[in-house]
A = this chain, B = another copy of it.
């Protein structure tokens, strides 16, 4: 079913920031619909009841990202 969407936050790695409404931008390891977990950067409502747009990253992509961050 189109609405049959599941995710499991396998590991909460950390919070990048929190806004005035309590939403937090987080780095997590998430399994989407039972697939292999991927790193994930997005905003979440305080109790994770809602999520914003974000991006998923493999370990290799996250390693490449770390090298690119030059400060």
Contacts and interface: CB of A to CB of B under 8 A. Distances in A.
Interface of A: 13-17, 25, 27, 41-43, 53-55, 57-69, 71
Contacts of A58: 17
11 contacts: A13-B68, A16-B61, A16-B65, A25-B61, A27-B65, A27-B68, A41-B41, A41-B57, A42-B55, A53-B55, A55-B55
A18 to B, nearest CB: 11
Contacts of A69: 27, 62-63, 65-66
Contacts of A27: 65, 68-69
Contacts of A59: 71
